[in-house]
Amino acid sequence: MDCLFCKIIKGDIPSSKVYENEYVYAFRDINPQAPVHILVVPKVHISSVDEINAENSALVAKIFEAIPEIAKAEGLDGGYRVISNCGADACQSVKHLHFHILGGAQLGERMG
Ligand code: AMP
Ligand code: ZN
């Protein structure tokens, strides 16, 4: 499958890795929109939030177990935002489920 993030997980495309375990891979966004901008993805290809179901939701739990660890390692003591864009209206550009962690500065109040 021609998926950018699957290639990053495999190591075929370089990335700035910040965290990895059996289920989860996290790396710095190439076009950061905050001082800290990290993408957290499942190693298994899931297209978007819209494809989460009872069979694969345990992987999503693994992601959300990793997020506080990553935030702590990045020193995001003041808080952070977790976002997943899903589908065209939300401007999802990479069709592999990913959660943005944004932090390191006071973020804006608007989200949409
Ligand atoms: P989204 O628009 O929610 O689908 O987010 C996709 C994100 O992937 C964007 O924030 C991009 O900057 C980021 N991105 C695209 N290509 C790469 C790459 N090769 N390495 C790291 N981040 C990337
Ligand atoms: Zn993929």
Return averaged pLDDT per consecutive 10 residues of the chain, 112 residues in all: 95 98 98 98 98 98 98 98 98 98 97 90
Does the beta carbon of 88 sit less than 6 angstroms from any atom of ligand 1?
Answer: no
Per-residue pLDDT, 108: 96
C-alpha 15 – ligand 2 centre gap (Å):
14
Distance CA 90, CA 19 (A): 26
Per-residue pLDDT, 64: 98
Per-residue pLDDT, 31: 98
Q: Which ligand does the CA of 5 lie closest to?
A: 2
The residue from 37, 45, 96, 98 that is catalytic is 98
- pTM given for the model: 0.98
Per-residue pLDDT, 1: 76
Q: Is 98 a catalytic residue?
A: yes
Q: What is the DSSP letter of 109?
A: S
C-alpha 58 – ligand 1 centre gap (Å):
24
What region, left, alpha or beta, does residue 10 occupy, with left being phi > 0 and alpha being psi -120 to 50 degrees? alpha
Per-residue pLDDT, 83: 98
